[in-house]
Amino acid sequence: MKDKIIEAIETIRPALQSHGGDVEFVDFDDGIVQVRLQGACGGCPSAQMTLRTVVENAIRQKVPDIKGVESV
């Protein structure tokens, strides 16, 4: 499952990087995916929206059984 999560993250990284940000996979435990928003994404006022609408949706397409995604 971890491989599918990382694969999903890799599909959205170019879009985030084009805006000066990035996302890094940290861990997957008890249905929760932990990621670290970096660069411009780390301090962006819209970071939570990006986390939910971009990162979580991309991961759910590959791994629909996750409970959620959180930034650490």
pLDDT in tens, 13-71: 999 999 898 999 999 999 999 999 998 877 778 888 888 889 999 999 999 999 999 99
CB-based contact 12:33 (threshold 8 Å): no
pLDDT at site 29: 95
Number of domains in the chain: 1
Vertex 27, ends 41 and 10: CA angle to 5°?
55
What is the domain range of residue 63? 2-71
| Straight-line distance from the first to the last Cα atom of the chain, in angstroms, rounded to the nearest whole number | 20
- Model pTM? 0.89
pLDDT for 70 equals 94
- How far is residue 68's CA from residue 71's CA, in Å, rounded to a whole number? 10
Helices (runs of H) and strands (runs of E) counted in the chain: 4, 3
The CATH number of the domain holding residue 66 is 3.30.300.130
